[in-house]
Homo-oligomer: A and B are copies of this chain.
Amino acid sequence: MKDYRIIEVKESILSDNDKDADELRKELKAQNTFLLNLMSSPGAGKTTTLVRTINMLKDEFKIGIMEADIDSDVDAKTISEAGARTIQIHTGGMCHLDADMTRQGLREFETEDLDLVVLENVGNLVCPAEFDTGAVRNAMILSVPEGDDKPLKYPLMFQVANVVLINKCDTLPVFDDFSKEDVVERIRMRNPYCDIIFVSAKTGEGFEEWANWLRREIRAFQEV
C-alpha cells in the first residue's frame, strides 16, 4: 500500500501571488512550520539530497515533503520509504508552483505538527524562480555535470536562492572542466549573500554542513 497521497493542484486565480505568499508565510509562522522551497534542473539530485537529509534530521524534527511533478510519483515513493510524511503534487503540466498551489499541498498534511516541510519544486531553472511559493527560505541545487556556467545563464534562480548546494562533487574528477572557483565567482555575481555548500548526496560529503545550515535556520525561525 502506498504511504503517500497524490493530489492534483490548480493554478491560482489570485492576481497577486506575492501578497498571497506573504499570507502563507504568516500562516506557517503561526503553526511554527519552516517551509523550504527546493529548486534545481531535472536530475540535479533533489530527491537523493532529500533522502539523505531526512535520514540525518528525522530524529530531531517532524518532517513533511511535498513532491511537485508534472507526472509520475516515483519520487514520492522513494521519499516516503525514507520515513518522511509525503504528499505528491501533480501540477497538471504547470512548470512551477505558486503560493496557492503550495497551500493546496500543505493542507493535505492536515493537523500534523510539522517542524520542517520541504517543497521539491518542478525540475526547472527558469520558471520556479519567478514565483514566490510562500517558503521561508529558497534552496537550489546545481550539479557538477551541468557545468560551472549556469549562474551566467539562469540569473534569477541564483538571485532568489538563500543557499546553493553544489551536488555530485564526487564526479569532479570526471567533469574536470568544472571549476569550483569559477562557479563561486559566478554565483557571487548574481548573489553576494547566499550560502554555498559543496556536497555529494551519493557519498554524504558536505552533508554535515548542510544539516547544520537547516538546523540553524529552523531554530532561528521557531525562536522568533
Contacts and interface: CB of A to CB of B under 8 A. Distances in A.
Contacts of A70: 126, 153-156
A174 B123 CA distance: 22
Contact of A153 (B71, B127, B149, B156): B71
Oligomeric state, in number of copies? 2
- Chain A facing B: main interface SS: loop
Nearest to A125: B42
B127 A95 contact: yes
A210 to B, nearest CB: 20
A145 B147 CA distance: 12
Contacts of A71: 152-155
A70 B43 CA distance: 21
A146 interface: yes
Nearest to A144: B145
A99 interface: no
B153 A168 contact: no
A146 B42 contact: yes
A168 B155 contact: no
A167 to B, nearest CB: 10
Interface in A36-72: 41-43, 69-72
Given A70-B126, A124-B124, A126-B122, A42 B145 contact: no
Contact of A125 (B124, B147, B152, B153): B124
Contacts of A42: 41, 125, 146, 150, 153-154
Contact of A152 (B74, B93, B147, B150): B74
B153 A74 contact: yes
A155 to B, nearest CB: 5
Given A41-B41, A43-B143, A123-B154, 9 more contacts: A42-B150, A70-B155, A72-B149, A74-B153, A95-B127, A122-B126, A124-B125, A145-B146, A145-B168
